[in-house]
Structure 1
Amino acid sequence: MKKLLALSLLAATLTAPAANAHDFWLLPSSTVLSGDKAWVTVDAAVSNDKFHVNYRPLQLSNLDITSPSGKPVQAQNTFTGQMRSGFDVELTEPGTYQLAIVNAGLVAFWKEDGKNKRWMGTPEKFATEVPQNAEDLRVTQRHGRIETFVTRDKPTTIKADDQGLSLRPLTHPNDLYAGEKASFVVLLDGQPAKNIDVEVVRGAQRYRNQVEEIIVKTNADGEIELTWPQAGQYWLHIEHSDDKTSVKQAKTRNLSYTATLEVLPQ
């Protein structure tokens, strides 16, 4: 049952059009902590509202936690419920931790004996599990990163991913305040990405009549600048498609990036 649920959620991540997709997110209990006994609890879910648990759990099989020194960190007390997953992280080192779920792979569609077929998996399994001479074969490569940041004591530098879409903060993501400007660089395969739309939405959307989304476009250097209208948890989302696939049968590559950022009051 758990395996079936994981596959269904992966399908939603890899195949849902942007306009109809649900929101994927990680939500930490705190983003800034201090002291030697620092812990954070994180919710992980897929929902119809940012940070409101009302649909499905986000699977944790591809969870990747990185300490300030670059070492992998093991999540503790992990669970997957009916509508959310969760885990705890002990912050044993001072500095900034990156908590991410990375989903990557291929989606293939074809016809077999007059019936539509669909397959999802890794490039390594593609050659053996998908008929290479399949009728009407269509293959898409996907890469999505969902992440958040937590700092114990003093903030430290964050390393951006060099695959797919990622974010390089010019303003530290745990040093954001209402009414102040913050700058980030959007990266595509590790390089600044120009003319990319970035969507930002404050949480607690269910308690207001308008979404109040902010849309900004990266400049020639891949940079964006945001002024936070008020305090709260913000959902930052980026999507991009191109033909830079690593599998010759795949003609399109669909990329996404989502971050949870906490903005504090002045």
Structure 2
Amino acid sequence: MKLTKTLIALALAGAAFSAQAHKPWLLPSSSLVDHKDPWVTVDAAISEGLFDIDHVPLKLDGITITGPDGAKVDMQNAMTGRLRSTFDVKLAKPGTYRIALVNQSVMASWKVNGEVKRWRGAEAEMAANVPAKADELTVSRTASRLETFVSSNKTDEAVFKPTGVGLELVPVTHPNDMRAGEEAKWKFLLDGKPAANQAFSLIPGGVKYRGTLGEIRFNTDAKGEVSFTIPEAGMYLVSSSWPAAVAPQPGQPRQMPARRVTYAATVEVLPQ
């Protein structure tokens, strides 16, 4: 039950494309650890019910952990089972850690003697697999980011330095310092620039116990900023994509844009 990097990238794109689709997620046991010997355990899976272990595991190769000093941190006790993967992270230094899975993939279709050919893979492999001058060649590129944040004994901002690629969250209110009923402020960037009027949603876990999705939707302003309040504590999945999805015309297949960018993150909202 292994997923290729391409399938993972497609799943990441789907997470922001439809609130009802199978969603990949990283779920830390806690987002803020106050302990002399701080550790956190992270579950990683793709599921139909948010944070439910009901479909397939998320492969752990490709996941990077960045410490508060910018250094890479190794995962410990990594294991992939039939329905989920899991690993531990030792939070040796105080501050905030980023746990992320970032993918860039290409989908191409073309015709050979009237027959449609398709290919999916990494950008570096495209030249060897897709004819540059193929008939009716269409190419769609996807950049996806899936992440979560955990802090050891204190929070800081170092891991939020933008890379300038894709959709990124640059929080004003730290995601490990959010409380129910209190206003929070975030900023989204698209390729390093303010993501103006960018739609995003927060979906709380525990959907199967509520019977409703409980999705809360927001939009950024012209500066890519947004202020919002979450009424209840819990683990939430942040989900956003660009450009906005367009419903297909009746009887026509959904058209993929030349480039699609998605973002998803797990954040914890603490009680007030």
Contact 1:14/1:107 (8 A) holds in 2 = no
Q: How does 1:170-189 map to 2 (within 5 A)?
A: 170-189=172-191
2:48 aligned with 1:48, yes or no?
Answer: yes
In terms of mean alpha carbon deviation, does 97-106 or 32-41 score higher? 32-41
Give 1:186 shift. 0.6
Unaligned runs of 5+ in 1: 243-249
Question: What amino acid does structure 2 have at the position aligned with 1:207?
Answer: Y
2:129 aligned with 1:151, yes or no?
Answer: no
Which one of 227, 239, 242 corresponds to residue 241 of structure 2?
239
Q: How does 1:86-97 map to 2 (within 5 A)?
A: 86-97=86-97
Q: How does 1:97-246 map to 2 (within 5 A)?
A: 97-112=97-112, 114-157=114-157, 158-241=160-243
Give 1:151 shift. 0.3
Give 1:167 shift. 0.2
SS of the residue 1:169 aligns to? coil
State the TM-score, normalizing by the size of structure 1: 0.90
Identity of aligned residues (%): 43
In structure 1, distance between residues paired with 2:109 and 2:84: 30
SS of the residue 2:17 aligns to? coil
Give 1:106 shift. 1.0
In the other structure, the counterpart of 1:256 is 262
Q: How many residues align?
A: 258
State the TM-score, normalizing by the size of structure 2: 0.88
Q: Deviations over 1:156-195 (max 9, x none)?
A: 1132332100100100111011111111001101111111
Contact 1:32/1:152 (8 A) holds in 2 = yes
In the other structure, the counterpart of 1:69 is 69
Contact 1:178/1:230 (8 A) holds in 2 = yes
Q: CA RMSD in A?
A: 2.1
In structure 1, distance between residues paired with 2:271 and 2:87: 27
Question: What amino acid does structure 1 have at the position aligned with 2:167?
Answer: L
Contact 1:11/1:120 (8 A) holds in 2 = no
Give 1:69 shift. 0.5
SS of the residue 1:140 aligns to? strand
In structure 2, distance between residues paired with 1:49 and 1:137: 36
In structure 1, distance between residues paired with 2:14 and 2:180: 35
In structure 1, distance between residues paired with 2:233 and 2:59: 29
